[in-house]
């Protein structure tokens, strides 16, 4: 999009360089937008992890289609809740409806939450197609979610400017906090 908000035409021969320019555009976004997008992605990742863990415990009573739809609805619901919260907060703080630029930002942030479920949903769709057993697909999806959270935590700690042992302690605390969140979500689902 150009500054007027209308879609700009891709330049001739744009292929691979578009990928680099997309990364550049992401880095050019305001820091607070990147923080919000990452926060939403973490929320959605925890939500998705809780959903697949509960389903994994009950895999013998589920179909792959039901498991996939449950994950999809859960992620869409947490994304919609985040978007609604952003809109409401904007109205309260600015005393007006979000304009085009603010709404676009909110939608980009919400999109990052939806993106968190892409690989787990593909795994579950493959279970629908019979490529995987449902239990294996749910296990793989939970691993994807755990690895995602681990990478985010690792990158966060590595970016700090503290001694290596303080980074290790911080990472350990993040892991414990993450485990506490997963346990609480499991308890909330009665398991």
Residues 6+ apart with CB under 8 A from 1: 7, 8
Spatial separation of the C-alpha atoms in residues 177 and 141, rounded to whole Å: 21
The whole-number average pLDDT for the span 82-95 is 95
Torsion angles phi and psi, residue 130, rounded to 5: 90, 5
Cβ atoms within 10 Å of 111's Cβ, excluding its own: 14
Question: Whose structure tokens read 């995987």?
Answer: 132
Spatial separation of the C-alpha atoms in residues 54 and 186, rounded to whole Å: 7
The whole-number average pLDDT for the span 154-176 is 88
pLDDT band, very low/low/confident/very high, at 4 (cuts 50, 70, 90): very low
Q: Which two tokens stand for residue 29?
A: 């976004």
| Residue of 60 and 188 predicted with greater confidence | 60
**Tens of pLDDT, residues 127-144:** 999 999 999 999 999 999
Are residues 44 and 78 in contact, defined by beta-carbon separation less than 8 angstroms?
yes
pLDDT band, very low/low/confident/very high, at 1 (cuts 50, 70, 90): very low
């Amino acid at each position: 999009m150009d500054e007027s908000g209308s879609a700009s035409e891709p330049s001739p021969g744009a292929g691979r360089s578009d990928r680099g320019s997309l990364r550049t555009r992401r880095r050019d976004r305001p820091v607070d937008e990147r923080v919000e997008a990452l926060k939403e992605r973490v929320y959605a990742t925890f939500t998705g992890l809780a959903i697949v863990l509960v389903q994994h415990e009950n895999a013998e009573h589920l179909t792959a289609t039901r498991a996939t739809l449950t994950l999809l609805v859960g992620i869409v619901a947490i994304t919609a809740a985040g978007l609604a919260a952003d809109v409401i907060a904007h109205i309260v703080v600015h005393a007006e409806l979000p304009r085009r630029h603010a709404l676009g930002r909110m939608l980009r942030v919400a999109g990052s939450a939806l993106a968190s479920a892409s690989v787990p949903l593909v795994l579950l769709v493959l279970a629908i197609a019979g490529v995987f057993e449902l239990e294996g697909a749910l296990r793989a999806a939970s691993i994807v979610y755990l690895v995602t959270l681990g990478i985010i935590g690792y990158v966060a700690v590595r970016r700090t400017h503290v001694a290596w042992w303080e980074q290790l302690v911080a990472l350990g605390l993040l892991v414990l906090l993450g485990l506490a969140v997963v346990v609480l979500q499991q308890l909330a689902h009665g398991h």
